[in-house]
Amino acid sequence: MAKIHFIGIGGISMSGLAEILIDRGNTVTGSDSTPSDITKHLQELGAKISFPQAAENVEPDTDEFIYTAAIHPDNPEFMAAKATGKPMLSRAELLGQIMESYKDSVCVAGTHGKTSTTCMVSEILLAANEDPTISVGGIMPSIKSNIRVGKSAKFVAEACEYTNSFHHFYPRYNIILNVEEDHMDFFKDLQDVRNSFRRFAENTSDDGVLVIGAEIPDVNELTEGLKCKVITFGLNEGDIYATNIKYNENGLPSFTPVFKGEKLPTVVLHVPGEHNIKNALAAIACTKEMGASDDAVTRGLSNFGGAKRRFEYKGIHESGAVVIDDYAHHPTEIRSSLTAAANYPHKRLIVVFQPHTYTRTKAFLDDFGKALSATDLTILAPIYPAREEDIYGVHSEDVTEKINESGGNSISLPDFKSVEDYLKKNLKKGDLLITMGAGNVVDIGEHILED
Contact 368, 331 (CB under 8 A): yes
Q: How many CB atoms lie within 10 A of CB 401?
A: 15
Active-site residue flag, 123? no
Calculate the dihedral angle through the C-alpha atoms of 94, 95, 97, 100, rounding to the nearest 10 degrees: 170
The catalytic position among 130, 158, 161, 312 is 158
For residue 81, give every residue at least 6 positions away whose Cβ sits within 8 Å of its Cβ, in sequence order, or none: 5, 7, 58, 62, 65, 67, 88
Active-site residue flag, 115? yes
Indicate the helix (H) or strand (E) that contains 79: helix 76-83
Q: Rounded to a whole number, what is the distance in angstroms from the first to the last CA of the chain?
A: 50
For residue 20, give every residue at least 6 positions away whose Cβ sits within 8 Å of its Cβ, in sequence order, or none: 98, 133, 135, 147, 149
How far is 63 from 249, CA to CA, in rounded Å?
56
SS (H, E, C) 422-444: HHHHHCCCCEEEEEECCCCCHHH
How far is 422 from 74, CA to CA, in rounded Å?
42
The catalytic position among 39, 77, 111, 114 is 114
Burial of 449 (0-12, 13-18, 19+ CB in 10 A): middle
Active-site residue flag, 339? no
The catalytic position among 115, 223, 357, 435 is 115
How far is 374 from 241, CA to CA, in rounded Å?
28
Q: Which residues are catalytic?
A: 114-115, 158
